[in-house]
Amino acid sequence: MLLSVLNAFSWIIGKLARSWLSGFLLGSLFSAFLIYSTSENYKDTRSGNIYLQPSISKLENTLYGLKINLNESQQQLFQNVGNNSSTEPYVSCSYNLNKLDLSKCEVVQIANICAGYNSTRSFVTLVKSLLFYRKNPLHFHILVDTVSENILRILFKTWNVPQVQVTLYSLSEAIPEVSWIPNKHYSGVYGLVKLTLVKILPKTLEKIIVLDTDVTFATDIAELWNFFHKFQNSQALALVENQSDWYLGKLWRNHRPWPALGRGFNSGVMLLNLNKLRALNWDNLWKNAAEKGLITHFATSLADQDIFNAIIKEYPGLVMNLPCSWNVQLSDNTRSELCYSEVPDMKVIHWNSPKKLKVKNKHVEYFRNLYLTFLEYDGNLLRRELFGCGSDVTATINKSLSELSEDDPCYEFRKLKTMNFRTHLFFLHYNYEPTADDVTLVAQLSMDRLQMLEMLCQYWEGPVSLALYISDAEAQQLLSYISKSDVLNTRTNIGYHVVYKEGSAYPINMLRNVALEQVITPFVFLSDIDFLPMPGLYISLKKQVINFGLNLTNKALVIPAFETQRYRTSIPQKKSEILNMLDMGTLFTFRYHVWPKGHSPTNYAKWRVSTTPYKVAWQPDYEPYVVIKKDIPLYDTRFGGFGWNKVSHIMELFAQDYSFYVLPNAFIIHMPHSPSFDIGKFRGSAPYRRCLKILKNEFVRELRKRYVSKQYSLRTV
């Protein structure tokens, strides 16, 4: 718990210059740190280290303090704009919601449309803001395409948030219902799908809140849910009035918007009473409105919003006008200042411009800071239990951990096999069609190795699958780095899979598994981020995998590895240059001076003179870099940090009767860098090395039991 507070504290310091909001957040987190640092502690009798006792109540106090400071940030914004705002009245409605009419464990139902790679990132930020303030169980009903379905299924499964349920619905069922409607809006056909929710969602569902993915909450969504209790008999919809002059037709000459009641309504935040809409035959209602509007307008300009407004114009009794603070709209022509200069606090911020955070607004910096607060917030801290409402997730996690002993010297390593690391697959757009001979380079990295990615991709033009072990804040640095890189920003064949940091051990084999499982090519090159492939290696390997028939046989192609001790050196382009540098003493076989067992079975002496591939025998501790078919055993996740993580995988390949063949005209070069933290622990900690030996022996015993035919060979390990 202390580590989490310290991490948050460090992050806030790094953002101190951002604005006054950072000052408030810094004060909140620093206060939390002082509370924790003075807590009663106990001494671990094994290691003599001092640990702080975890305290749920104090974590709640920390979050509560952060919420208070976010509210204070809003108040400062109101003071700044209050004296300068227009005196023009802004239509709004006020309701007394001091008392919520829902029970403690009543489930708030939420619907979203999420399609494509990039939309999943904005959706996660919305979810963070909802989880930060929520006090009730949530059930997300998300309409997804095949891309977002895979991403969100894994994301929520690994996030493991108590009292959060997720149901995914295929957009393939909804799109045919609306694809006949021409739409000029940048959202395309997906911008019309909300019209089909009444039909798509289960008939047992009575009411739902519908949210665009580009909204950010600044309060508990239960307050919004409570408006359902304020509906009058005829009311089936609740929306906030549109905060631009769009539907007034005054933005430019000959502007002809769809019909709307007054200023119209914005569909980014909606409450739908599904039972009432079903009784009204909603499917026919919206289709008739769409057909009628298309006769004169030919296409929608604002997607589903135009059709919702056409219906409300004809049937005004259907709508409840929500207070403007529940959808503060930051579009290019917004007049939302008339709202937030009058109301006591803002509830929902809506980035409803195609420019999103780059929208032109004189107060955009204030809103951007609120958004960035959740964007970079550690999502692991949102796994908070709502006590008294039940949680299968928490029970499962506690059961797995209870089977481990904290007195075990290898506890941190064993815990790796029970942990669910929050994972966001395909963090950026990915677009690649593989061929039958295609090879994907598979690697993992942390933020301190990111600079090596650019150089690697200069030498490897084929597809890449990367697992990145980073924090929420570092994920935004990743986006910035890639967008500014001439090498990376045009590549769409790199799969970036973000695994969020948690715990003290580096889960290297779990990261490798994440990257390996997302490969779509038939073959993989199992490498590391600090190795440069020789020029043309990708093209060469595509030929070799076919020549060797890797897809039909248990064969692995070994790529000989070399290293240089010089940070500035020319990279060899072909084998003759490698041989020259070996003779000159400026290049060496990889790890020959510290771990010869790892690569000596490759037989570098034979490689020097070979012109054809040759077979080598597996030996204990062998850990070559190999090209192999995709469908292979996963890495053993008990091995984290440094040591035996690759060795164990190669050993299992041997146990499955894989043969190893060395390619005579292929090579990779290790790029020098400072030692990792885990190498330091291995070299300097005898308990660490003893634990690694224990895990190794356990792994080998298990392997002997599973592969009886290899018992004799594995006995020598």
Got the DSSP string for 6-22?
HHHHHHHHHTTTS-HHH
| Closest to 602 measured CA to CA, from 616, 591, 612 | 616
Is the pLDDT assigned to residue 558 strictly greater than 90? yes
Predicted local distance difference test score (pLDDT) of residue 345: 83
* DSSP three-state, residue 581: helix
pLDDT at 213: 95
Question: How confident is residue 522, by pLDDT bands cut at 50, 70 and 90?
Answer: very high
DSSP helix, strand, coil percent of the chain (3-state; round to 5): 45, 15, 40
**Do 487 and 590 fall within a single domain?**
yes
Q: How far is CA 318 from the centre of its chain?
A: 39
- Residue 70 belongs to some domain of the structure: no
Give the Cα separation of 443 and 528 in Å (integer). Answer: 5
- The amino acid occupying position 597 is K
Radius of gyration of the chain (CA): 29
Residue 47 CB partners (closer than 8 Å, separation 6+): none
Nearest-angstrom CA–CA distance, 564 and 587: 5
Q: Which residue has the higher pLDDT, 156 or 6?
A: 156
Q: How far apart are CA 451 and CA 286, in angstroms?
A: 52
Clarify whether residues 324 and 430 are in a common domain.
Answer: no
CA distances in angstroms from 31 to 40, 61, 76, 369, 565, listed in the order given: 17, 10, 21, 21, 46
Residue 321 and residue 463 in one domain: no
Residue 495 pLDDT > 80: yes
Select from 213, 187, 188, 210 the least CA-distant residue to 200: 210
Lowest-confidence segment of 116-125, 172-181, 695-704 by average pLDDT: 695-704
Q: Is the residue at 355 inside a domain?
A: no
| pTM, 2 dp | 0.85
Q: Which residue has the higher pLDDT, 405 or 22?
A: 405
Q: How far is the C-alpha of 202 from the C-alpha of 86, rounded, in Å? A: 45
What is the pLDDT at residue 686? 77
pLDDT above 70 (res 4): no
Residue 472 belongs to domain with CATH number: 3.90.550.10
Q: pLDDT tens digit string along 328-362?
A: 988 777 887 888 777 678 899 998 877 767 777 77
| Residues facing 556 on adjacent strands | 660
The per-residue pLDDT for 567 is: 66
Query: Does some domain include residue 487?
Result: yes
- pLDDT for res 641: 78
Average pLDDT of the residues of the chain: 84
Q: Which pLDDT value is given to residue 18? A: 40
The whole-angstrom separation of Cα 494 and Cα 572 is: 25
Reading the block at residue 604, the tokens are 């570098």
- Percentage of the chain lying above the pLDDT 70 cut: 81
pLDDT tens per residue, range 174-231? 999 999 999 999 899 999 999 999 999 999 999 999 999 999 999 999 999 999 999 9
- 3 state SS for 692-717: HHHHHHHHHHHHHHHCHHHHHHHCCC
Q: Report yes or no on 68 lying in a domain.
A: no
Regarding whether 690 and 543 lie in a shared domain, the answer is yes
Say which residues have a Cβ less than 8 Å from residue 399's Cβ, sequence separation at least 6: none
- % of residues, the chain, pLDDT over 90: 61
Q: Where are the beta strands (DSSP E) in 12-151?
A: 41-43, 50-52, 108-114, 138-144
In a domain, 10, yes or no: no
pLDDT at 396 over 60: no
Give me the pLDDT at residue 534, please: 96
Q: Is residue 659 part of a domain?
A: yes
Last residue of a domain, one of 281, 306, 328: 328
Helix (H, G, I), strand (E, B) or coil at 595: coil
The number of distinct structural domains making up the chain is 2
| pLDDT for position 632 | 96
Q: Which residue has the higher pLDDT, 685 or 171?
A: 171
Q: Are residues 256 and 184 in contact, defined by beta-carbon separation less than 8 angstroms?
A: no
Whether residues 317 and 428 share a domain: the answer is: no
Quote the DSSP letter at residue 577.
H
Answer yes or no: is 382 within a domain.
Answer: no
Nearest Cα residue to 25 out of 57, 68, 79? 68
Q: Are 82 and 337 in contact (CB under 8 A)?
A: no
pLDDT at 140: 98
Sequence letter at residue 703: L
Strands, E assignment, 61-199 = 108-114, 138-144, 164-170
Q: What's the pLDDT band for 401 if we cut at 50, 70, 90? A: low
How far apart are the C-alpha atoms of 624 and 629, rounded to whole Å? Answer: 15
**Confidence class for position 103, pLDDT limits 50, 70, 90:** confident
Query: Who contacts 34 (Cβ-Cβ below 8 Å, separation ≥6)?
Result: none
Q: Give the domain-ending residue among 328, 346, 381.
A: 328
Q: Please give the single-letter amino acid code of residue 19.
A: S
- Which pLDDT score is estimated for 716? 58
CA distance 470 to 448: 10
| Among candidate residues 311, 328, 345, the one where a domain is terminated | 328
Model confidence at 505, pLDDT cuts 50, 70, 90, reads confident
Q: Specify the DSSP element, H or E, that contains 609.
A: helix 604-609
Helix axes 56-82, 20-37, angle to 10 degrees: 160
Q: Tell me the C-alpha distance between 637 and 645, whole Å.
A: 8
Of 30-34, 65-69, 322-326, 620-624, the range with the lowest mean pLDDT is 30-34
More confident residue, 77 or 577: 577
pLDDT value at residue 400 = 64
Q: What range defines the domain where residue 698 resides?
A: 423-714
Asked if 334 contacts 245 with a C-beta cutoff of 8 angstroms, the reply is: no
Query: What is the signed CA dihedral for 424, 358, 221, 88, rounded to 10 degrees?
Result: -170
